[in-house]
Amino acid sequence: MRLLLIDNESSLLEKLENILPKNTIVEKWDALPAHYVGDEFDCVILSGSKNFSAVWNVNDFANEIHMIQTTTTPLIGICFGCELITVAYGGTLTRLEHKTQGIKEIHIQNINTQKISSVRVYEGHHWVINRIPPNFEVLATSSDGPEIIKHTLHPIYGLQFHPENFVEETEGDDIFLKILSSLAS
């Protein structure tokens, strides 16, 4: 599986690389060509960011947003990456009064069985999804709102949490790797 990891200046990049296959290609967000679509990869992963807001930096991330909107390659956005997907497809975000940081419980809805299970994930963000974009569904929630979103027509997922952090204490990496595996098959 050929993976492209777009580094949006994540402070957790090394941890993310540790849970991905070793042949993953890493590109900096600001090195993407203007009309890049990533079609030579099996999946594109958008990292989190320690420096940016998807709301206040839309113009700076125009190339990445264009790629999100035009690629036919499966796509997974993590935290900031999820927020970019939300903005790119017409959803809205709300800034929290206080940053959410730490291990938190989320509730995953199994679409097939209607069963809800709770898992622990690591959160580290200032923004939450206020309104999901058209043609997206919510697969998991927390007290802050949507935690996993999925496009209903295309293989695009957004995870509002960090699956790469505290992998021994949380199940976020398991969820992420299951989604990644489902996109590869």
Phi-psi region of 9 (alpha: psi -120 to 50; beta: other; left: phi over 0): left
Q: Which of 64, 83, 123, 164 is catalytic?
A: 164
Q: What is the DSSP letter of 165?
A: S
Q: What distance in Å separates the CA atoms of residue 44 and residue 75, rounded to the nearest whole number?
A: 5
Note whether 4 and 24 are within 8 A (CB).
yes
Q: Which of 43, 82, 147, 162 is catalytic?
A: 162
Q: Does 14 qualify as catalytic in the annotation?
A: no
**Residue 24 CB neighbours (<10 A):** 17
Q: Which of 79, 82, 123, 125 is catalytic?
A: 79
Q: Does 79 qualify as catalytic in the annotation?
A: yes
Match 């960090």 to its residue by tokens: 162
Q: Does 162 qualify as catalytic in the annotation?
A: yes
Catalytically active residues, by annotation = 79, 162, 164
